A and B are shown apart, each in its own frame.
Chain A
Amino acid sequence: MIKINNIEFCKNNKIIIDSLTHTFEKGKINFIIGENGVGKTTLLNILGGVFDSTGVKSTDYGDICTENHQYKAELGFLMETPFFYYNLTSDEFIDLVLSLRKKEVSSDEKKRWYELFKMIDFTNIPISSLSKGARQKTAIISTLIHDPEYILMDEPVNGLDPVGVKILKEILVAEKKKNKTIIVSTHILEIAEKLADDVLVIKDGKKIASGNISDLRKNADEELEDIFLRLTENHDYEKVLSLI
């Protein structure tokens, strides 16, 4: 579980995250949704210990901050634009990340992950020569392979093929059953609708709604897209549509 209380983050004199309080439950898939530039990635970076912010961010391993290495060892963080050492192969990159985390994984376990994402033929190719999808798969494997307690994913389906998306969804469900804390940020509301146990909607760095999707519905037919448009008060949506 990650509890955040009244966190604030400013950059270049602009408030990116504004007094945000929320609890990301264990054993649930928590989705963060919001328009472009509302602070989703910044929030995940704060929860990943990349940025320091004001306010409380408590976990079972102490408060999240850049120096909390105990928490980071139990964290798997997939960034929006994953970082790679392009001249390393996927296998080397994953080994390096594991070693930097001081974690060990058996070769069978590694092989299982490669087979899961159909990466077995690409593990000895430099990342620079891989396709966008294969790079994303490499990043996902490096995020999950050490069996982390906390999983943060920022736009995880970027560049993935339909099979890859399906596998990732199944993995997230399996990880949820292991009682892990999973936080995913995405623009693809269909995925959130299928997987989310809990949704946090943010706008301009502020929380505007949260809870189970069924709780957020006004009526039974309402889809997450409609809920989102209603909550984020996109009044000019119809006007924009008329321009198409």
Chain B
Amino acid sequence: MKKYLIFLYSILYTGKNRNFLRFFLSGFLVICVFSIGRSLNNVILDRLIDNIDQEFLLTVYTQFHSILGFILVSIASMSCIIYSFNIFFKDSELYFLFSLPIKTSEVFFNRFMKIFLYSSSVYILFSAGILSTLHRLFNIKANIITLLLSYLSVPLIYTSISILIVFLFTMILGSINSRRFLISFSVFMITVITVAVRYMRPERLFQMNNIELDTYMEKLSMPFLKFSPGDIPSRVMLLISNGRSLDAITFTACCLLLSFILLTICSFLYKRLHGELSGENQPTSSMKRLNIKKQDTTKTLLKKKEITLFLRDNFNMQQLWLFIGLIAVFFFNAYYLKNMGGKNFYDTITFFFNLGVILLISASFIARFFFGFFVKTIKEKDFLKSLPINIEILFKARQELFFTACCVFSVFALLLLLLVYRPELYIILISIIDIFLFISLYINMALYISLRFLDEQLDIFSIPVLFYILFNLFLTAFVTLIQAFGMIGTRHIQNTTRLGRIGSVIALVILIVFFISGIFKRLSRRKIRSL
């Protein structure tokens, strides 16, 4: 007991107060995921009860459940694939573990647990939310253990399949390019999955009568859904509700057995692979050389350096690929929402909402890369200070690079959005102003936070970065809503001067963003001077 208490204590206590805050924040996140799972399930059940007969309820519910499981499992598997490569082959902890008298199979188990905890946590929490509302449909009390085990078998299976995919690809492709290939593959799969789920249009279930539903359910029974591990609990639920408890137990046991067989294969493959894959083996011949010219100014040199480092960093590239995948999914959704039909009223709101999303993607881009850069800044700062250059140029070069990158992305995204929504000219102009204003705000703020916490590890879960993201989320939502409703207001009130109202909306937004941006800019300058 004492051992476990010490273990728990070591997780919670690391000697710094901010880690407690991080712990409470993650606790809050856990509660949120659980509540989302539970509420979503309640909403689905209520809507189903209102719209369809009891005899269809069970089938429809399980179909919904399997679609949800399919989405969760797909996303978790993709992240699992990316994470596994690092954990099994690139983690520095591996060198430490292999220097100790530990068997390779034990190292494999240790690595597997790390990935399992990482990839299964959200699925299990979400499922727990669903499970907690199941009593409304099924009599699960007698079969709760079977159902719990079926839920547990899902992450076990998808984690082991993901690891197996990574190992097989690594065996076929070798260590060098497999990661990039896997990443591209994952992003492609995420896009395909989203498109497939959208194609099924599950929300139409709420608007159908029972005859249409029959046809729809046939359409829903797509073959790939049947092969998803996310479907396991749904099948177990169906078996239980039909009174076939023994079949349910056998099915769950088979799933668990399958996951253990897969893990044994993975463990065997790892013994063969781990020795061959240590160390960094980057190709050198294919790299484009850093192009330094005599006439380059210090700022240009630093910019060129940043771009080269960015392009050569595999992790950055992996993030960029994911980012591109996200954009593809986002625009598919924008197009889909538009086709659902609606009035100008909804169009304006969704346009501004989507603009807000574009800007928030920019903010998260900045958070990931900007703070990532600044983690290494302390040593770089000292190095640059030993050279005959002004340290301020480094920060300016980075700011300009981020500003350009984000603006290029946002303007490109805006163009795509315009193709979907085709709003009026003044809305386009406001959007462009928004983009430039917001991005400079995000960058000034990120710069200030990174300078303020220069001595700390600013990873994505650190308090300053979380604060940055939350603050931006709040501000962007607030300002885009003002705009959306401001625009609708101007369109519907005909007696007042339209231009005047539009002007006041623009002025308000500019004032808010410009004012906050200015504060952070001044604070950053002061910080740079004191470095």
Contacts and interface: CB of A to CB of B under 8 A. Distances in A.
Interface of A: 45, 48-50, 66-67, 69-73, 75, 77, 79, 81-83, 85, 87-89, 92, 95-97, 99-102, 104, 124-126, 128-129
8 contacts: A83-B379, A87-B313, A89-B289, A95-B292, A97-B387, A128-B282, A129-B281, A129-B282
Contacts, number: 82
Interface stretch (B213-221, B252-260, B304-312): B304-312
Interface of B: 279-282, 284, 287, 289-290, 292, 294, 296, 298, 301, 305, 308-309, 312-313, 379-380, 382-391
Contacts of B287: 89, 126
Nearest to A88: B290
Given A72-B388, A100-B389, A129-B280, A83 B296 contact: no
B89 to A, nearest CB: 15
Nearest to B382: A50
A184 to B, nearest CB: 16
Nearest to B302: A100
Contacts of B386: 48-50, 72, 75, 77, 79
A73 B280 CA distance: 34
A105 to B, nearest CB: 12
Contact of B388 (A87, A92, A95, A102): A102
Given A87-B309, A88-B308, 13 more contacts: A50-B382, A50-B385, A66-B385, A73-B388, A82-B383, A83-B383, A85-B305, A87-B313, A89-B284, A95-B290, A97-B387, A102-B388, A125-B284
A128 B305 CA distance: 16
B290 A69 contact: no
Given A99-B301, A126-B312, A69 B389 contact: yes
A2 to B, nearest CB: 15
B289 A92 contact: yes
A100 B298 contact: yes
B382 A96 contact: no
B296 A87 contact: no
Q: Is the interface of B mostly helix, strand, loop or mixed?
A: loop
Contact of B284 (A72, A77, A81, A124): A124
A73 B282 CA distance: 34
A82 B305 CA distance: 18
Nearest to B298: A100
Nearest to A93: B290
A193 B388 CA distance: 33
B387 A101 contact: yes
Contacts of A88: 290, 305, 308-309, 312
Which residue of B280, B282, B385 has the most chain A CB atoms within 10 A of its CB atom? B385
A171 B313 CA distance: 35
B312 A87 contact: yes
A45 B381 CA distance: 12
Nearest to A48: B386
Contact of A70 (B281, B383, B388, B389): B388
B387 A72 contact: yes
B308 A87 contact: yes
B388 A101 contact: yes
A129 B314 CA distance: 14
Contacts of A95: 290, 292
Nearest to B312: A87
B379 to A, nearest CB: 5
Given A87-B308, A92-B289, A128 B301 contact: no
Contacts of A71: 388
Contacts of B312: 87-88, 126
Contacts of B384: 100
A89 B298 CA distance: 20
Contact of A92 (B290, B296, B385): B290
Contacts of B387: 72, 97, 100-101
B382 A45 contact: yes
A118 B384 CA distance: 27
B286 to A, nearest CB: 11
Contacts of A48: 385-386
A79 B382 contact: yes
Contacts of B292: 92, 95-96, 99
A99 B299 CA distance: 11
A126 B314 CA distance: 13
A80 to B, nearest CB: 10
A124 B284 CA distance: 7
Given A49-B385, A77-B386, A96-B290, A128 B280 contact: yes
A213 B384 CA distance: 35
Nearest to A87: B312
A100 B301 CA distance: 8
Contacts of B379: 81, 83
A83 B309 contact: no
Nearest to B380: A83
A175 to B, nearest CB: 18
A33 B384 CA distance: 26
Which residue of B279, B292, B385, B386 has the most chain A CB atoms within 10 A of its CB atom? B386
A88 B306 CA distance: 10
Which residue of B281, B294, B298, B312 has the most chain A CB atoms within 10 A of its CB atom? B312
B282 A99 contact: no
Nearest to B289: A92
B253 to A, nearest CB: 47
Nearest to B531: A66
Nearest to A45: B382
Nearest to B314: A87
B385 A96 contact: no
